[in-house]
Structure 1
Amino acid sequence: MEGIRLIPSSKWSLHKFFDRHPVIRGYLPATALYQPALLDSFLQKYDTVYIKPSSTHMGKGIMKVWKTDSGYAWVKERGQTVTASTLGELKPIVNQSVGNSKHIIQKGIPLAEVNGRPFDIRVMMLRNGAGKWQYAGMLAKVAGPDSVITNVARGGGYVTTVPKALRQSQAVKSEQVNTVTRELIRLSHHVCSHFNKYKHSSQIGIDWAVDKKGGLSIIEVNFDFPSHGLFAKLPDKTYYRLIKRLRSQYLARRARLKKRKPASR
């Protein structure tokens, strides 16, 4: 991609890359490379914002800043909530936590909830034995108590099926659940197809937000080592077995192709 400096695993780099796609662009929350002055402008537009390290994953270091009836509040992952009457009082705490590392600032999405806890949806895509992208499964990641992240390991949450989470949240009507899941699969194929232009990957886990009105947004595209173990936590192991089977088929194909490749002289 000419004109773009691609940085592996960088949230900012990926955001700029996906923003070039005519379909995917519409599912990206407003995002910018963090600068202290942007905290004011983002909170003028949105009630909640997230500040995320650009080069870390698994929910590590994510901060939430939001408006309250008496001012503003800030929390990092599952830490203690800090409140302030003005944003000026809160800024030094935010900026100290940001430090010198690159972060992004992002519009907060009012996630649909299961029993008062927000959730997002992980859609797992793998290359199959023919080297083509294939949908392998999806699940809902429900945040732990008092956690601002849905990462199960770091946030103390749990996984459940997507239909169950959607129905319990009432974000969409029961008769629309299948339509939403089909749309998630369709859009995830768009993500993988476009990602081919960014970097080669054989497995991608896409985290989708479902807001309280049923709208969809992309939270993150995990392309290094998206967790297979999350799917093993579901009572029904169908998705987990399919993921392992597709992975084995792809690795076997790669080994065959490597054997056939003539040795360089």
Structure 2
Amino acid sequence: MELKNSGEIHIGHHYFSPQIIATDVIQFQESMQKLLGSTPYIIQKGVPIRQLNNKSFDIRALVQKNDKGLWSVTNVISRIANISSYNTSICEKACLTTDVLKHLYPRDKVKAIIQSVYNLSLRSAEIMDENETYHLGEFSVDFALDNDDHIGIIELNGKPQKDLYDGIRNQFTVYKRPILYAQYLHTR
């Protein structure tokens, strides 16, 4: 959703071009009621996502427990959206995040961003482990960089999409680490 200077509210789904244009708040509320029905939703403030060649991209860290039962970051990739989409779930390609960032930043800045991704991912894992209701062995953390180079968490996924890692360095570790963690649990 985007409030335009004209007062119109543009509502899109996956792509920049709007599906619905509301001319005022009442029409917006009616449109949202039709879309959502009685399903409760949380709406977060939009983030102007950093672009690479006019394409949005995100950063996804795969966090898995290892053969010692400790959280580790297995891989960090980026999904690059189609040119007319802000939604990286519908992506043109996935590649190592370092390959994306090196086109935007000097080496020391790339290293600092990757280190922040690792730190935030592992801190997220620690927080997840505080809640004993859940027992996770893996999840992914999706990040976005804004136009001021601030990094923020978009979401955590309890069932990471592993086929994104096919053909990318460390792809076998993506599948092997859960087995090693299962062996660790079995021998405890």
Check if 1:181 corresponds to 2:114: yes
Check if 1:227 corresponds to 2:161: yes
Q: Which residues of structure 1 form unaligned runs of 5+?
A: 1-64, 258-265
Tell whether the 8 Å contact from 1:123 to 1:205 is kept in structure 2 after alignment.
yes
Q: Which residues of structure 2 form unaligned runs of 5+?
A: none
Percent identity of paired positions between Structure 1 and Structure 2 = 19
Amino acid at match of 2:98: P
Between 1 and 2, higher relative CO (CA 8 Å, sep ≥ 6) is seen in 2
Check if 1:248 corresponds to 2:179: yes
Aligned match of 1:68 = 4
C-alpha displacement at 1:117, in angstroms?
1.6
Check if 1:195 corresponds to 2:124: no
Check if 1:137 corresponds to 2:75: yes
For 1:125 and 1:147, how far apart are their aligned partners in 2? 27
For 2:50 and 2:86, how far apart are their aligned partners in 1? 13
Tell whether the 8 Å contact from 1:76 to 1:148 is kept in structure 2 after alignment.
no
- CA offset digits 1:141-163 (Å, max 9, x no partner): 11224334211xxx243212212
Count of residues in Structure 1 that have an aligned counterpart in Structure 2: 184
| Matches for 1:115-134 after TM superposition, within 5 Å | 115-134=53-72
Q: Which consecutive segments of 4 or more residues in structure 1 shift more than 4 A?
A: none
C-alpha displacement at 1:197, in angstroms?
1.4
Secondary structure, in 3 states, of the residue corresponding to 1:107? coil
| Matches for 1:1-265 after TM superposition, within 5 Å | 65-70=1-6, 71-78=8-15, 81-151=19-89, 155-168=90-103, 170=104, 172-198=105-131, 199-223=134-158, 225-232=159-166, 235=167, 237-257=168-188
Amino acid at match of 2:14: E
C-alpha displacement at 1:211, in angstroms?
0.7
For 2:106 and 2:91, how far apart are their aligned partners in 1? 28
RMSD across aligned positions (CA): 1.9
TM-score (norm 2): 0.88
Tell whether the 8 Å contact from 1:145 to 1:156 is kept in structure 2 after alignment.
no
